[in-house]
Chains A and B, each alone.
Chain A
């Protein structure tokens, strides 16, 4: 048998040399004319194959009379006889149903027809376009029930990703990310910074990935799908699959783009003349310095962005490779801020032995990110960060003196900071490097049974150097200055052994099963130095001369986390009977070092069931209904994303002293989410209209929380499992339709929506405050609560009833706003929606992606404390405070209230791309030109920069949601791109 195979292979090899080889280029498009990436193109009867690039183009060497075979998941296999052509365009039709599509699920793949859980796939061709720094942005608005909120407009800003609502108070709420089988730790090594102006916001830990290297993203939403990840599956799982090399001659793909960004939306504050008029209206005699200055304009700019990528893929049957590199340079719209990213990626896929039973997959990834970070913080005090300072700047006072130097000793009070001075005096640079290597040998024991080992090492290094000049009039640092350097190191090791079985076992039963063992450990280390008192008359970077700092001002610190380990055993079996019924059973046992002696292990089972009704006799051959499948799932998943050491009494070291930070709890156990899911997949009119409707209930029990303890005790709180439940219930709908399908014109529309309700029960008397408010006049105030029978993060505020016409002071329901507060709304949207459409006419195509959220409230902390009426006479105020018919008293206090609570409803045109397929120009093949607009407009009543905002306002680690406080403004970007291959 083996000999015969060898003989045949040899014959094939010889046959290759018998015909003249031509270089064939081509494009594979779908019915709409849009390029399909990832199509395997094979020369019929040979082993020569390649894969289409992201624009659907390919290059292959083939005899001039050969036939090419195109195959891709979700499309019918298509053949084309070359007949002497060297350039071809092939149109592939979607398969009658996409059920043969293979979906990447945890520790293996499954056929979509076998799925019982809730799994959404987004492939490269449907990704969002534009300036993308992290992969979550690629699928924003694309998957029902997934809400992705960028915390601000800063390049690379962190995003809150919520899959089916939020189910945790204190443990993590972000999903687990899995990159080609490697689980990511969910944090990056970039050190934080807090120097003079408050805490610098964090960035997205997935920034290290080059979006150009990603082939598809799968989102696992319910327990039936995520239980295989057990204790890390509670918040959903996002599986990222990168692109692979294909057999054939090497192809080089190049893409380049450049663009310009401006601020998407500005806050309407008074200009110089309006300010003078307002002063007159208020009979204020001071505050007019005669000029006309736009400080916000002065700190922002038209910024330039460029992206360059290359990818080389190819190989023989036993050795495929892909090598890619990328360079991304994003200037921020706030002056001096910049993010530059260098990525390199190598993947190799090898098979050995005559039998090809032994294989080896290798992935290597290296990324360096350099950032120049603007002086913007999430909790700036009364002197603000550069955004607040610019908004407040008196528009009649010039920022620069007549001799063009920055006006530092200005007339606006000793504590008012000139934003240009802060920009000049601030230097904050971070370098974050990520190296991920994984090696995965496998052996096919018998047909359908595979043993695989994965060993991966993920190393992150972060360095940050921050300084503030002694020249700046920041209280306590004026004439003093400060500088800090910190270094982080993050190591994650994963070792996974799996045994996979995937085969039609009888004519009626298809079995897909996986069993495995996994070890996972993370380790974090940091070291930092800090010093104050530097000369104000030198322009050198203080971080380069930190030894000059006053000895007594120096701080130094180092820390290494406890060994954090997870050890797991898991099994999943999926059986499909006659393509009618499918059953999945999953079980995972996870042990973690983080938990108490009494509860080290957690057990996470789930079951799922699917019934393909359209394959039943009574629906078979139905002209309208081409697919109908009912899915049911139930299971438990866990969450262990909280700090180490909580189960033990610990002693920590401070300067010459020791203390116990908190009590340990030996009974600490896993937080568990129980999810029930019912889903209906359908296809109508030969799948021209497809869709999914799902209803889920997600109930979190034993929520991890660091509870207030009966004092006296150590300063910190104690981790316990709360008696309460957090419940998310929701309905998800997604629909895709081909509105026009023709030779020249095609039009597709996709919409998705989710309607989610969130509530806490069983907490008893306890409640927790969060949503810290920042800025002048509001110290210690909070805006949100975690309390029984209310949604998570419900707003708890005084009710503003208007401004008194006679006193000009605010009125509140019940009198004193300090003692009359009410539950007044939720920051969690009732509905999140996504909308995408693409239309193609001949070689021209247009893609539009929109997303929105409705039924929630945002707290405008910027309006509350940065721009109150009391600024008038020294600093600026918003236009909306003038000409309202009521003269608000400049002494009206800034009490937090519903006055600053705004409806957060929005619909955003996230990106639109117009592209033109030029074709081949000489040696340049598959040339594509595209023009992308990002954040083109947003429809909203929210008065801040961007309704998609989430400034971190956590209190004692309890997360906040939906607050805006002088964030980095969102950019609108226009990007011109060129793709081609050689």
Chain B
């Protein structure tokens, strides 16, 4: 009996402490409950801005999708370097497939911006915060529409099992236009020194892009341009011009390249919308890759010896064009590096004549191959330095990343006039832009010469693919590839997304 008591007592003790509820208790995080305090609109808005850095500034994301597929940019395989399993080659050669990792990541990250921006709207934002979030969302959806046609739009932000719906083509364009139009006036009416943040003119510039390409989104192979859309482009553009907040840069090399300089937030008169970048605040994207990519290892600053442009594109520039580049104060005097296009012998600090690692003179050649095969593989191709390097800062650099620029707005208005058969009204705009680059009027002015002018003005800024498609020239051969087919007008929906989202269908040809 005594034993029985003991056993009973101790068996009870077994379960004496068995009352833990097993709730997950966070200590460095908060559980997100709809309407709860975890969702702070200011903090979420800053996060939404931060989500733009990688997809827009990294050399392997949207920029690569727009540039490498065009006639402006190529990433040659340099023997042991830059093979990267062919990711760059297939972009220029137009042979990418639905497993392309960088295209997949670009798609996912652009959509990530949409999620972050939508989340701000669920957090009781002020009218201005809401407007900023909608601008950010509109820009990201516009980029997805441009590249993939199908824009998944997520309404339920808390349950991943509820699938996003898919917006396509003009429907998607109209959705973005309406969503943005509703809040334009809630955005601050700032100028070029406050371009790093959503603002009224940035929204207008984005609306211009949407209207200008609306006919393209309806039919990329044979776009037509509705007069109403062109008129909207002209109206919005003229509003930006009439705001008198912007002016074209002086017709000098430092004038033009100052728009991309580390202190571009202070000196640019053209920038309408940029991504904020500040070393002191430790915020910014991979803007430094814009110079790292072209710089040879032995240059100052040292780089990654990668991408180049093609000589056909380089030859579109005349010697008088300040956009072709030259010395930039504070850079060339310190490092020997000139901004713009780099071709021929390169110099280091104090005029040192540089050599490559194989002992060749570091003289960048005009020609380049998709796969280099000679002993000159480190020095082939014309390099492009649009962003004057931030020599004092580290990563992130201080150069704000330029999305919309005044010259682009002027050229878009000119294009809309021309597409509306009002070429005479286009001429002064194009002439003004060219004058600011040290050049005389463009003759003749037609769509063929205008796309070249857009190339000269906006090269390597991430617009080339979109522009070429709109002008019907995207599939044309380059020096390094033949004519490609209409499949290439769209990127493939990444296979991994197709596997998890039945509301998507693969784009034709993939």
Instruction: Pick from B40, B111, B302, B503: contact of A658, CB below 8 A.
Output: B40
- B contact residues around A287 at 8 Å (CB): 358-359
Instruction: Pick from A449, A499, A819: contact of B90, CB below 8 A.
Output: A819
- For chain B residues 93-132, which have a beta carbon within 8 Å of chain A? 95, 97, 101-102, 107-109, 111-112, 114-116, 118-119
Stretch at the interface among A23-31, A47-55, A839-847, A893-901: A893-901
- For chain B residues 314-366, which have a beta carbon within 8 Å of chain A? 356-359
Stretch at the interface among A231-239, A557-565, A696-704: A557-565
Contact A777 B81 (CB under 8 A): yes
Cα distance A449–B14 when bound, in Å?
14
Q: Closest Cβ of chain B: how far from A560's Cβ, in Å?
A: 4
Contact B86 A645 (CB under 8 A): no
- A contact residues around B394 at 8 Å (CB): 476, 480, 532, 553
Stretch at the interface among B202-210, B264-272, B370-378, B458-466: B370-378
- A contact residues around B235 at 8 Å (CB): none
Whether A715 sits at the interface, judged by CB under 8 Å, is yes
- B contact residues around A816 at 8 Å (CB): 86, 89-90, 95
Q: Closest Cβ of chain A: how far from B206's Cβ, in Å?
A: 18
Cα distance A592–B81 when bound, in Å?
48
- B contact residues around A552 at 8 Å (CB): 279-282
- For chain A residues 657-702, which have a beta carbon within 8 Å of chain B? 657-660, 663, 665
Contact B359 A285 (CB under 8 A): yes
Contact A645 B29 (CB under 8 A): yes
1/0 contact trace for A570-598 toward B, CB 8 Å? 00000000000000000000011110000
Cα distance A287–B375 when bound, in Å?
13
Contact B80 A718 (CB under 8 A): no
Contact B499 A764 (CB under 8 A): yes
Stretch at the interface among B152-160, B187-195, B476-484: B152-160
| A600-B22, A645-B29 known; A519+B115 contact, CB < 8 A | no
Q: Quick one: which of A443, A659, A807 has the most chain B CB within 10 A?
A: A659
Binding site for B on A (CB under 8 A): 284-287, 382, 412-416, 443, 445-446, 449, 451, 473, 475-476, 478, 480, 495, 497-499, 515-517, 519, 532, 551-553, 555, 558-563, 565, 567, 569, 591-594, 600, 644-645, 647-660, 663, 665, 707-715, 718, 764-766, 769, 773, 776-781, 807, 809, 816-819, 865, 868-871, 873-874, 889-896
| A562-B27, A591-B22, A778-B85 known; A713+B154 contact, CB < 8 A | yes
Cα distance A766–B498 when bound, in Å?
9
Q: Quick one: which of B7, B279, B297, B357 has the most chain A CB within 10 A?
A: B357
- A contact residues around B372 at 8 Å (CB): 891
Contact B43 A657 (CB under 8 A): yes
Q: Closest Cβ of chain B: how far from A786's Cβ, in Å?
A: 12
- B contact residues around A563 at 8 Å (CB): 24-25, 27
A-B contact pairs, 13 of them (CB 8 A): A499-B14, A562-B24, A563-B27, A591-B20, A663-B159, A711-B108, A711-B501, A766-B496, A766-B500, A807-B373, A818-B86, A819-B86, A891-B375
Whether B225 sits at the interface, judged by CB under 8 Å, is no
Contact A561 B27 (CB under 8 A): yes
| A780-B84, A819-B86 known; A707+B500 contact, CB < 8 A | yes
Contact A412 B357 (CB under 8 A): yes
Q: Closest Cβ of chain A: how far from B493's Cβ, in Å?
A: 10
Contact A653 B82 (CB under 8 A): no
Contact A777 B80 (CB under 8 A): yes
Stretch at the interface among B30-38, B242-250, B403-411: B30-38
Contact B80 A414 (CB under 8 A): no
Cα distance A620–B217 when bound, in Å?
87
Q: Closest Cβ of chain B: how far from A782's Cβ, in Å?
A: 8
| A563-B25, A652-B29, A766-B496 known; A873+B358 contact, CB < 8 A | yes
Stretch at the interface among B44-52, B253-261, B425-433, B438-446: B44-52
Contact B83 A712 (CB under 8 A): no
Cα distance A919–B119 when bound, in Å?
78
- For chain B residues 272-311, which have a beta carbon within 8 Å of chain A? 279-283, 297-299, 302, 304
Whether B448 sits at the interface, judged by CB under 8 Å, is no
Q: Closest Cβ of chain B: how far from A453's Cβ, in Å?
A: 8
Binding site for A on B (CB under 8 A): 3, 6-7, 10-11, 13-18, 20, 22-33, 38-40, 43-44, 46-47, 50-51, 60, 77-87, 89-90, 95, 97, 101-102, 107-109, 111-112, 114-116, 118-119, 152-154, 158-160, 163-164, 279-283, 297-299, 302, 304, 356-359, 371-375, 377, 394-395, 495-501, 503
Instruction: Pick from A653, A780, A894: contact of B29, CB below 8 A.
Output: A653
- A contact residues around B90 at 8 Å (CB): 816, 818-819
Cα distance A807–B371 when bound, in Å?
13
- B contact residues around A451 at 8 Å (CB): 10, 13-14
Cα distance A895–B90 when bound, in Å?
13
| A718-B160, A777-B82, A890-B79 known; A659+B47 contact, CB < 8 A | yes
- A contact residues around B86 at 8 Å (CB): 816-819, 895
Instruction: Pick from A654, A780, A871, A892: contact of B60, CB below 8 A.
Output: A780
| A414-B297, A593-B22 known; A868+B496 contact, CB < 8 A | no
- B contact residues around A870 at 8 Å (CB): 79-81, 377
Contact A894 B83 (CB under 8 A): yes
Contact A499 B97 (CB under 8 A): no
Cα distance A890–B374 when bound, in Å?
8
Contact A660 B26 (CB under 8 A): no
| A382-B81, A869-B80 known; A712+B496 contact, CB < 8 A | no
Cα distance A852–B159 when bound, in Å?
49
Contact A562 B50 (CB under 8 A): no
Instruction: Pick from A443, A648, A871: contact of B80, CB below 8 A.
Output: A871
| A412-B357, A414-B298 known; A778+B83 contact, CB < 8 A | yes
Cα distance A710–B496 when bound, in Å?
9
| A412-B357, A517-B18, A710-B163 known; A558+B82 contact, CB < 8 A | no
Contact B497 A711 (CB under 8 A): yes
Cα distance A499–B78 when bound, in Å?
70
Cα distance A594–B25 when bound, in Å?
10
Cα distance A592–B23 when bound, in Å?
9
| A809-B373, A870-B79 known; A562+B25 contact, CB < 8 A | yes
Cα distance A650–B158 when bound, in Å?
10
Contact A665 B497 (CB under 8 A): no
- A contact residues around B281 at 8 Å (CB): 552
- B contact residues around A443 at 8 Å (CB): 10
Residue of A nearest to B85 (CB): A781
Cα distance A416–B101 when bound, in Å?
29
Contact A658 B496 (CB under 8 A): no
Q: Closest Cβ of chain A: how far from B68's Cβ, in Å?
A: 14
- B contact residues around A868 at 8 Å (CB): 79-80
Cα distance A480–B393 when bound, in Å?
10
Cα distance A414–B50 when bound, in Å?
33
- A contact residues around B377 at 8 Å (CB): 870, 891
Contact B164 A890 (CB under 8 A): no
Residue of A nearest to B356 (CB): A413
Instruction: Pick from A285, A473, A896: contact of B85, CB below 8 A.
Output: A896
Q: Quick one: which of A415, A553, A869, A891 has the most chain B CB within 10 A?
A: A891
Cα distance A715–B46 when bound, in Å?
15
Cα distance A874–B498 when bound, in Å?
46
Residue of A nearest to B24 (CB): A593
Cα distance A445–B32 when bound, in Å?
51
Residue of B nearest to A798 (CB): B85
| A712-B115, A713-B111, A895-B85 known; A657+B46 contact, CB < 8 A | yes
Instruction: Pick from B24, B38, B84, B163: contact of A777, CB below 8 A.
Output: B84
Q: Closest Cβ of chain A: how far from B293's Cβ, in Å?
A: 12
- B contact residues around A659 at 8 Å (CB): 44, 47, 50-51, 116
- A contact residues around B159 at 8 Å (CB): 663
Cα distance A644–B160 when bound, in Å?
18
- Kindly list 10 other residue pairs between chains A and B, CB separation below 8 angstroms, not including A648-B32, A659-B44: A285-B359, A414-B297, A451-B10, A499-B14, A519-B20, A650-B30, A652-B28, A712-B164, A765-B499, A870-B80
